[in-house]
Structure 1
Amino acid sequence: MTTGTTRHPYRRALLLLLGVLPGLLLLPACSSGEDRPRIVVTTNILGDITREIAGAEAEVTVLMRPNADPHSFGLSAAEAATLEQADLVVFNGLGLEENVLRHVGNARRAGVPVFEAGAAADPLTYRSADSGSQGEQGAPDPHFWTDPDRVRKAARLIADRITEHVDGVDRNAVRANALRYERQLADLTTWMTRSFERVPEDRRALVTNHHVFGYLADRFGFRVIGAVIPSGTTLASPSSSDLHSLTRAMRDAGVRTIFADSSRPQRLAEVLREEMGGDVRVVELYSESLTEEGGGADTYLSMMRANTEALTNGLTTG
């Protein structure tokens, strides 16, 4: 005779599972990547630096995509919402992320801890030689990352904010990550100093797509002659008189090389080359954005090394 148990071989297992399930629901959830604290960073340069410091202790979400322009990139509604759901927001500030700063302000008002890295890194101000815009002269320059020593200070402060505001992280691990990265940044400064020693004093003059290398010039002893866009933002545009003034300054300084950001078209630099009679080189730099992985500047350290080599070669062979 066939029993009920043999007719339904899975019935006993099902009953056992139903008896155990309520107890399982009362157990603490297992930790996963989704349970880690979240740090949201606006720019991809700061995002790479923050990831080095946070390591495996927190999920780092970077809003700015590779090869984007920090002055003009925007956020979707979902991306803006991540700022208010973060345990910590890290942003450059000093007016850099022009379309994102209001969302950072919303997160601050919602009670999210925020850290403005640029303001904490001993910012320089634009001088008359740095910017053709009267409104910018004396205003803080947001491009502090071109000086690795200031990045070292910012890295230390990011570690402080993570250990202070982000619950659930191993503070010792974060501190160890920060110390390791600070040593790499110190080594970068030493290497850049030695590389730039190859550039003769009379060739230490920079003309760029827009004013972005003031910190590098200040740290390593360069002169900023001018920029094709006489402003600290790519959203500005030059007038014909601006271009005429710049070509005159370049001729006076004997400058024949323009450094332009690789993530943006070089049309304006090409126009300036035409103004100078064609005897001008345009050298690409990675000035305001990292590239995608394998693109030549996918970390802050690789970006600065690539730029150092491009600047040194451009100024010694131009």
Structure 2
Amino acid sequence: MKRIFVPAAATALALLAAGCGSKGTPDAAAGAGPSSGAPLAVIATTPEVADFVRSIGGNDVSVTQIIKPNVDPHEYEPTPADIQAIGKAKLVVKNGVGLEEWLDQTIESAGFTGTVVDASQGVAIRKGDPGDEEMAGGDPHIWHNPQNAKTMVTNIEKAFAAADAARADIFASNLAGYSAQLDKLDADNQAAFAKIPAQQRKLVTNHDAFGYYIDRYHLQFVGSVIPSLDTSAELSAQQLTDLVAKITSTGAKAIFTESSLPPKSAEAIAKQAGVKVVGGEDALYGDSLGAPGTPQGTYLGAEQHNTQVITSALAG
């Protein structure tokens, strides 16, 4: 387990910032609404969670996103600016399932006294590999099933309504509209994979990030370049040999790289196995989203991209 050390100077800075905020006012208590029409100050840990927060909160929330696009969340280390922002927020929304192992200590260092919202509450969690100590609590990549995403945004909406009751109807309306979009995404994905024969639905990826997606759309997971839910693991020589043999024996057509991970190892394995690498602009969004302002910069756009890329490659 990675240990996160927060610099003392950063801690002092964050505590000072928190002390200068509204900590002493009645509205700073958990569940209290803001005293004015100002947007609700929300910290969101990952790009996916931040997009959910914006979709439910709209203009009625002010979102500070901690992890930027194409930054590996498994290896993230908080900055002094993160600590200061958390100290000023009313809500912190996290993915949960152990993805943000750095967060608890960072919250403590920031002197945060608001509400922490675990978006994973109520999601059925896939168990990690028994040998994968980093992910003993389960697979954190829950958003890759749109039905799990619906649970996540419902948790977010409930927390927003509790924190700002005056705008609860707005949050509820936003939730209804976004949930309908998630249902459409799910239906579109199912329709796309229905066109691919079951024996061709074989997936090889950079790391084991797509378990919920695989389960939802009935794919066969052949293996991953990184043999873990955590991106810091590495293949042993024997595991590499085994993966090449498995790719060959199953007839998998490609190795799909991911936007937040380097493709070099995938390219080497693909060469040995005699299969193509799907990468570059077609790289999958496993742990991240695309650049802000692009279609893939949203959860819906990134998931649509993933399905289009995977189905095109498997059908080819």
In 2, Cα distance between the equivalents of 1:49 and 1:152?
10
The residue identity in structure 2 corresponding to 1:281 is: V
The question of 1:242 aligning with 2:239 is answered yes
Match of 2:31 in 1: none
Query: Take 1:31 and 1:113, find their aligned partners in 2: how far apart are those partners?
Result: 19
Q: In structure 1, how many angstroms separate the alpha carbons of the residues matched to 2:311 and 2:74? A: 27
Indicate the residue corresponding to 2:79 in structure 1.
76
> Does the residue aligned with 2:64 lie in a helix, a strand or coil?
strand
Q: Give the drift of 1:241.
A: 1.2
CA displacement at 1:295 relative to structure 2: 4.1
Residue of structure 1 equivalent to 2:138: 140
CA deviation map 1:3-55 (0-9, x unaligned):
xxxxxxxxxxxxxxxxxxxxxxxxxxx967xx422010000111011100011
Measured in 2, the distance between the counterparts of 1:265 and 1:296 equals: 22
The residue type equivalent to 2:284 in the other structure is L
Q: 1:1-318 maps to which residues of 2 (within 5 A)? A: 35-104=38-107, 110-127=112-129, 133-135=131-133, 139-164=137-162, 166-167=163-164, 169-276=166-273, 278-283=274-279, 284-317=283-316
The alpha-carbon deviation at position 240 of structure 1 amounts to 1.2
The amino acid that maps onto 1:114 is V
Letter of the structure 2 residue corresponding to residue 299 of structure 1: T
| Cα distance change, pair 137–95 in 1 and its aligned pair in 2 (3 A) | closer
SS at match of 2:223: strand
Distance in 2, matches of 1:167 and 1:311, equals 41
SS in 1 for 2:106: helix
Structure 2, gaps ≥5 residues long: 1-34
| SS of residue matched to 1:83 | helix
CA contact (8 A) 1:127 1:138 kept: yes
**Structure 2 residue matching 1:206: 3-state secondary structure:** strand
Percent identity at matched positions?
31
- Cα contact 1:40–1:61 (8 A) shared by 2: yes
Q: What residue is the counterpart of 2:20 in the other structure?
A: none
The two structures have a TM-score, normalised by structure 1, of 0.81
Q: What letter matches 1:225 in structure 2?
A: V
The amino acid of 2:48's aligned partner reads: I
Aligned residue number for residue 9 of structure 1: none
2:167 maps to a residue whose letter is: D
State the one-letter code of the partner of 2:170.
A
For 2:187 and 2:202, how far apart are their aligned partners in 1? 21
Partner Cα separation in structure 2 for residue 44 and residue 138 of structure 1: 23
Residues 167 and 301 from structure 1, CA distance in 2 versus in 1: closer, same or farther, beyond 3 angstroms? Answer: same
Q: 2:19 — aligned with what?
A: none
Query: Which ranges in structure 1 are unaligned for 5 or more consecutive residues?
Result: 1-29
Amino acid in the other structure paired with 2:297:
D
Amino acid paired to 2:267: E
Distance 2:278 2:104 in 1: 32
The 1:79–1:305 alpha-carbon spacing in structure 2 relative to 1, beyond 3 Å, is same
- Specify the structure having the higher radius of gyration (Cα): 1
| Residue of structure 2 in register with 1:14 after alignment | none
Letter in 2 for 1:280: K
Match of 1:24 in 2: none
Inter-partner Cα distance in structure 2 for 1:268 and 1:201: 28
